[in-house]
Structure 1
Amino acid sequence: MIKKLAKGIGAGVCRLIFPNKCLGCGKYIKASAEDNPLDVCFCPTCRGEALPVFDHPFCPGCGRCFEAGPDHLCGSCLETPMAMNGVRAAFEYKGVIQKALGLFKYQSKLSLARPFERYLFKAFATHFDMDSFHLIVPIPLHGSKAKDRGFNQSYFLVRNFPRLYTDECDRPAPWRIDIGALLRVRATVSQTGLDIKERKKNLSNAFSCPKPDLVKCKKILLVDDVFTTGSTCNAAAQTLLDAGADGVWVLVLARA
């Protein structure tokens, strides 16, 4: 209790000395009493009225959101099921989330990592049995892209999950984050602008599982930043399943 109080006081003093600036318009942001992690990154105008939270109804397979009705498999999943057991997200990919992800991923606004991880962990706790997994695997970048970008956005989204789990459940996490279970062994062009067929071809043999014993008979949570057509996650999941994984579920920050 004392530790949390001291932390809160320290954060308040820091805000007075170093006030936050909106990543959207650059204006100074007033401290908010609301428990919205993005309040320290965007002003009310840039943030909008409400965050596009991922919620029912959606497809249990690929996570595609529907306007109304009950949850049900979409036509694509009925016709051609994906390798993953299911996809869930923290947000829909639109509004301030789409803008914020662009700033985070392409302009290295790493201050967004902290609020993003909190929202993603909340989605993890909401949509999954957190104790049912053995490994959490962030989608890897090819070495050349990782060097250019300087960080792997998927890893940044989950790197503090063990601490968040312990804070939430008051015990160590039953799973671990593994960045060696899946490797990106072939450099690919950006998926942006490619159709589904081109995306699949682009990702052919892009992933490798160098140590099958790490994933054999394991239940794995695969984590990425954005899910659009699902080609990247599907190719990664298939690689893990081919290596002997017992099942692969996907958690993303935003579902397009």
Structure 2
Amino acid sequence: MEGLRRMAEAVGNAWKRTAYPRKCLVCDRLLEAGEKEYTCVDCRDSLPTLEGSLCRCCGKPLGGREELCHDCGRTPRSFRRGRSLWLYEGEAKRLIQILKFKDGLYTAPYLAERLCQVLEELCALEHLPLPDVLCPVPLHPSRERARGYNQAGILTGRMARRLSIPEARLLVRVRKTKPMKDLGDLERLANIQGAFALKKNQDVRGRNVLVVDDIFTTGATLDACAKVLMEAGAREVWILVLALGKGI
């Protein structure tokens, strides 16, 4: 019941944001009439975008001429490609926290659209087709009930409609893990081991799967998801996230 109540509140908040004069998703400033963006100019300019060379595996910014970041260089990944919208700081961090912890479903249309744009840019740049299926990182059922929704699932649902790509809840979280924000880098790796499994009656053999989540830090969660999918026969796994945190 608590989960249903939280979901109802989140949907109500989303409706209010569309029924009343439009405000910036980040700072709540009223947007000018005719403004097509979801954020004001100041907040758009403040979002910590990724610049320069990016890791060819996870998409983290690189400091030199190397092709892989420190994390991907020392740890083989189960996913093939990754991209992010922003760094997890400043206005981007605030926006993601609104989505996750403040019944912020009204931010989902903007965030999903931005994820679609980044994915389309990546595919065009590397002359690749879009993935065959979108998959959100699952929450443990108890955590999803408490929050009322899975933010990654909300995003993939909107992305699927926008891109005309199937969305499937391919994975389940088979054990409850500690919140990653409370753990050190090595603790994160141990915390997530064996936490995911392929959902019953799902077939990913020969398919390119895009896994979507909110934050990439060390990549432990997304790599664990990708490992399960690859072991189940997926051809490739890509990852797409809202923001990059600081990893190892």
TM-score normalised by the chain length of structure 2: 0.81
1:235 is aligned to 2:234: no
Is the contact between residue 124 and residue 130 of structure 1 (CA under 8 Å) also seen in structure 2? no
C-alpha distance in 2 between matches for 1:135 and 1:235: 18
Task: Name the structure 1 match of 2:194.
Answer: 205
Corresponding residue of 2:177:
188
Counterpart pick for 1:176 among 166, 186, 190: 166
Q: Which has the larger radius of gyration?
A: 1
Contiguous gaps of at least 5 residues in structure 2 = 1-15
Within 2, Cα distance between the matches of 1:205 and 1:73?
26
Task: Please show how residues 3-22 of structure 1 align to structure 2 within 5 Å.
Answer: 18-22=20-24
**Cα offset for 1:163?**
3.0
Distance of 1:243 and 1:162 partners within structure 2: 22
1:133 Cα deviation after fit:
2.0
1:115 aligns with: 110
Query: Residue 213 of structure 2 aligns with which residue?
Result: 224
Deviations 1:9-33 (A, max 9, x none): xxxxx99972234555555443364
Structure 2 residue matching 1:224: 3-state secondary structure: strand
Q: Contact between 2:25 and 2:107, CA under 8 Å: does it hold in 1? A: no
Residue of structure 2 in register with 1:87 after alignment: 82
Calculate the TM-score normalised by the size of structure 1: 0.79
In the TM superposition, what whole-angstrom CA distance separates every residue of 1:105-131 from its partner, at most 9, and x where no partner exists?
Answer: 011111111111111110110113673
- 1:169 maps to what in 2? none
Give the letter for the 1:164 counterpart: R
Q: Which runs of 5+ in 1 are unaligned?
A: 1-13, 166-172
Q: Which amino acid aligns with 2:140?
A: H
Of 58, 61, 65, 1:62 maps to 58
Alignment of 1:36 with 2:32, yes or no, is no
Contact 1:61-1:81 within 8 A present in 2 as well: no
C-alpha distance in 2 between matches for 1:233 and 1:199? 12
| Cα distance change, pair 83–144 in 1 and its aligned pair in 2 (3 A) | same
Q: C-alpha distance in 2, partners of 1:161/1:16?
A: 19
One-letter code aligned to 1:31: A
Change (3 A) 1:197 1:17: closer
Alpha-carbon distance, 1:137 to partner:
0.6
Once the two structures are superposed, what CA deviation does each residue of 1:37-62 show, in whole Å capped at 9, x if it has no partner?
323xxxx55x2634323344111112
Q: What SS does structure 2 have at the residue aligned with 1:225?
A: strand
Matched residues in 2 for 1:197 and 1:231: separation?
A: 9
Say if 1:158 and 1:16 are closer, same or farther in 2 by CA, change over 3 A: closer
Query: Displacement, 1:214?
Result: 1.1
Aligned length: 227
1:37 and 1:21, CA in 2 relative to 1: closer, same or farther beyond 3 A? Answer: closer
Letter in 1 for 2:158: N
Percent identical among aligned pairs is 31
Indicate conservation of the 8 Å contact 2:136/2:213, yes or no.
yes
Give the Cα–Cα distance (whole angstroms) in 1 for the partners of residues 47 and 196 of structure 2: 33
| 2-structure distance, mates of 1:25, 1:66 | 30
